[in-house]
Amino acid sequence: MLSFLGRLPLDRIALVLLALVCLVAAGLTWLADHPEHDPRSPLTLDQPEGWATGLKLAALRDDPKTCAVFLERSAISPEILPATGDGACRREDRQQLASASALGFGLSPSTAQTTCAVDAAFARWLRHGIEPAARTHLGQGVARIEHLGTYNCRRIGGGEEGNWSEHATGNAIDIAGFVLEDGTRVSVLNDWNGDAGKGAFLHAVRDAACGPFSTVLSPDYNAAHANHLHLDQAPRTMGYTACR
């Protein structure tokens, strides 16, 4: 670039530099209008998916303080719980899941102890995945989400050897079904490959979870997940996610 400029008259150099300044200014203005593509812009609940969203979500998984600020910015106020447990099942980051009630959804069972990262991802999933998918495929909203639990001090697969599950630290939640506004229940076990509308909805919410959560496992993965969607926030490099 410098050698190219060195061969130009001064007036041409000035024009080239002015063009570069204008290009940079236009780029910064565009990013200001599209914060979802700007890694410097903080993630918000209503911010659409963009080029930088994956990195911003990864930051929520990696830093509980950044995650707590996101929840506060989203008007979600969880009850922070004291640390508990020992060894691999020690839970330092522990709170009552608050995003469902804050966004107007019921939760069954009504309480769930999770990490901040799960709560934050749940909020994004509700807003950008569950709400639009229900309206599109079922013609109505979701009133309540049914889950099978979050915390279970165990290894993956429940054996005595192998890697510890993200459930061991409450960094995961298993979703069994959804209850619609008219009382209709949509079950992962019964409807994954059943009714076209319900099945399409379940596949859509599975796919939508693959952004905010780092791991999403469905009945398409294996028989152990035939009755639920496993969602967790395992830390991964550069925002990589596993979705099956």
Q: Are 117 and 233 in contact (CB under 8 A)?
A: yes
The tens place of each residue's pLDDT in the chain, 244 residues long, gives 545 445 556 666 666 566 666 666 555 565 455 678 798 899 999 999 999 999 999 999 999 999 999 999 999 999 999 999 999 999 999 999 999 999 999 999 999 999 999 999 999 999 999 999 999 999 999 999 999 999 999 999 888 889 999 999 999 999 999 999 999 999 999 999 987 899 999 999 999 999 999 999 999 999 999 999 999 999 887 667 899 9
Exposed/middle/buried for 71, CB within 10 Å: 0-12, 13-18, 19+? buried
Q: What is the largest CA-CA distance in the chain?
A: 75
Q: Would you list the DSSP string of 80-146? A: B---B--GGG-BSS-EE--HHHHTT-EEESS--EE-HHHHHHHHHHIIIIIHHHHHHHHSS-EEEEE
- Across the chain, how many H-helices and E-strands are there? 9, 9
State residue 244's pLDDT score: 94
SS3 for 55-71 is HHHHHHHHCHHHHHHHH
- Global pTM reads 0.89
State residue 99's pLDDT score: 98
State residue 125's pLDDT score: 98
State residue 31's pLDDT score: 47
Q: Is the peptide bond before 212 cis (omega within 30 degrees of 0)?
A: no
180's CB contacts (< 8 A; 6+ apart) are 134, 138, 140, 141, 142, 143, 186
State residue 35's pLDDT score: 72
State residue 159's pLDDT score: 86
State residue 5's pLDDT score: 46
